[in-house]
Structure 1
């Protein structure tokens, strides 16, 4: 009898401990899911202080809507603290700037200077290639739509190799006296006719992309990953990336933060992102 009673109590104890363990694990998982910034819209709301720590929305009529203390609590959680080499002093200055009580800074989903960089796979003349689409929102009817603003394809850029110096071919400055007969020789079977263009010439890769797509030479396969770039806060550039991992520091997080001293630095950063540097 004692043996049976001991076994029964042991089983009860085992189930109680397992149940407690499951409850603890479920609570931890639930907490992690709440902490994770799962959507871009949620990133905007948390950045602006428009929801609480449980995901409850705040509206302009709510007392805590865009409250500075709420934002000071939330914004540090929006940084990737595991893998991104973000300078802590820069991050603190950034948070201080956007949560300043006299002139706070917020993100506007529809109006701000921000765009998304989408890495995608394609088939180009039966070969698998990777390209980058730069997309932004634009007004459409009563709402908005995503549009392709620019593209970057190494497959396209290698077709434009503008020679310089002694290697550069040119049209003689007196060609006009010969009714430009030299054009035949210059352009016949030419693989790099761009050397006869202005020094300032830049290929329009978006037009090439659309042409090849419309001709059926290029077909979309799938989107691989995305990064969102923000120039909405004066004096700063930052990007957000999706970190799909367990734990509280996951989801859409700030992966880079760079102070910008002037418009020249801002343009340099954009050129770098668009592969135009």
Structure 2
């Protein structure tokens, strides 16, 4: 039985919806090993970031005294960083923790609040050769629940098709009287395939997902396996961070903050474009 590759992606990422089993956590002043080993699912990362579960992994009720309690939350968040990333200076980490735990303007992660998405590096075969394709997925409401959906794709073989020289774009146009000659001058527009998109309307952006689906439907692009998954978060005002899974020995493992950047809200769209296009 053949498995739909897209359905396979969604099935894999839906596992992050599952509630984690209760984990035995060491005290913050003692052995922290069980805590690090326990953050195995993104749903648990959300709860710990927000301090919505106790140190044994049992979720708090919203009426509990410790639910989202500030001081314990600071300790939780501090333990959710990848300690091997030397760019996490003490000042940067403390500034971020202070920003999200401030009693006046504290911020919490919302699983269904948007402004976070998954990046999946997957192995494919394209025209008989092994290739890596990067897929982007986001949560979309569906009835009373939600589902993961593909929102973008990055594949150099596709993106490089649209790297034509735009410096002479003003010289590439169809004369306003072209209709009078039945658009016979289209032959000139289609002579240089590299520049053909210069004849489109302003604001044109190639749809990489459509190209991706087209190649898959032709069976020239075939899914093999998922290689890596990480998540991008833009929910926190004036901050961006990335969460990756670290499967390694030692204490500092599981889903951890792997990248952190202070960024104004009005520049986040530029950052998103960079993430999607890798340039």
Same fold (TM over 0.5): yes
C-alpha distance in 2 between matches for 1:78 and 1:217 = 41
SS in 1 for 2:62: coil
Q: Which residue does the alignment assign to 1:258?
A: 261
Do the aligned partners of residues 171 and 222 (structure 1) sit closer, same or farther apart at CA in structure 2, a change above 3 Å counting? same
C-alpha distance in 1 between matches for 2:143 and 2:219 = 30
1:165-180 → structure 2 map (5 Å cutoff): 165=167, 170-172=173-175, 174-180=177-183
C-alpha distance in 2 between matches for 1:64 and 1:164 = 58
Q: Which residue does the alignment assign to 1:141?
A: 143
Segments of structure 1 that go 5 or more residues without pairing to the other structure are 1-26
C-alpha distance in 1 between matches for 2:172 and 2:104 = 60
- CA contact under 8 A between 2:164 and 2:194: conserved in structure 1? no
C-alpha distance in 1 between matches for 2:109 and 2:156 = 33
Do the aligned partners of residues 271 and 84 (structure 1) sit closer, same or farther apart at CA in structure 2, a change above 3 Å counting? farther
SS in 2 for 1:101: coil
Segments of structure 2 that go 5 or more residues without pairing to the other structure are 1-25
C-alpha distance in 2 between matches for 1:108 and 1:165 = 44
C-alpha distance in 1 between matches for 2:106 and 2:203 = 41
TM-score by length of 1: 0.81
1:59-78 → structure 2 map (5 Å cutoff): 59-78=61-80
More off after superposition, 148-157 vs 160-169: 160-169
Task: Report the count of equivalent residues.
Answer: 248
Q: Which residue does the alignment assign to 1:40?
A: 42
Q: Which residue does the alignment assign to 1:154?
A: 156
Q: Is the counterpart of residue 120 in structure 1 residue 129 in structure 2?
A: no
Query: 1:54 pairs with 37, 50, 56, which one?
Result: 56
SS in 2 for 1:201: coil
- CA contact under 8 A between 2:124 and 2:223: conserved in structure 1? yes
C-alpha distance in 1 between matches for 2:249 and 2:44 = 18
Do the aligned partners of residues 165 and 103 (structure 1) sit closer, same or farther apart at CA in structure 2, a change above 3 Å counting? closer
Query: 1:96 pairs with 95, 98, 109, which one?
Result: 98
SS in 2 for 1:226: strand
